[in-house]
Amino acid sequence: MLIKNNEYNKSLLDTSAVIALLKKEPGYEIIEDIIGSANISVVNLSELISVLTKSGLLEEEVDNITTSIVPIVIPFSEDIARLAGKLIKDTQIFGLSLGDRACIATGIIHNMTVYTTDKIWAKLGIDNIVVIR
């Protein structure tokens, strides 16, 4: 479901957190507990679709998984795009991708707790990031 206002739940999932859940990797239980009310950035949804497609799943399977797993998809707004672009200055040394920065920027703009498996995010000094393993 794509919501176009600021009435989002307070949990935002990085692609890595969703993959951890799907594969039952360490930390997945944390995501399992919040998935029903979690959000994902449309950029991270695209990244998730790419990962699932590359894994060999059929398009229909990918669509079924991605439409059922995360209930709320947050659009990539101009404000989020601007912040994600500016985050390059502080994150380039850590090698964060556009998808990573889009997720972090979405969390900052909407004051959400961001869940990830990427341990390097803990070094960013940004509040509200939870590394699940």
In angstroms, the CA 57 to CA 35 distance is 22
- pLDDT of res. 6: 58
In angstroms, the CA 115 to CA 133 distance is 10
* The CATH number of the domain covering residues in 11-131: 3.40.50.1010
- pLDDT of res. 7: 64
- pLDDT of res. 2: 46
3-state secondary structure of 11: strand
Torsion of CA 66, 22, 50, 60, to 10 degrees: -50
In angstroms, the CA 130 to CA 112 distance is 11
Residues 6+ apart with CB under 8 A from 40: 12, 13, 15, 18, 48, 70, 72, 73, 74
Name the pTM for this structure.
Answer: 0.92
Per-residue pLDDT in tens (0 to 9) along the chain, 133 residues: 444 445 688 999 999 999 999 999 999 999 999 999 999 999 999 999 999 999 999 999 999 999 999 889 999 999 999 999 999 999 999 999 999 999 999 999 999 999 999 999 999 999 899 999 9
Q: How far from 33 is each of 18, 107, 122, CA to CA, in Å?
A: 12, 19, 21
In angstroms, the CA 88 to CA 34 distance is 29
Q: How far from 132 is each of 3, 67, 112, CA to CA, in Å?
A: 26, 23, 15
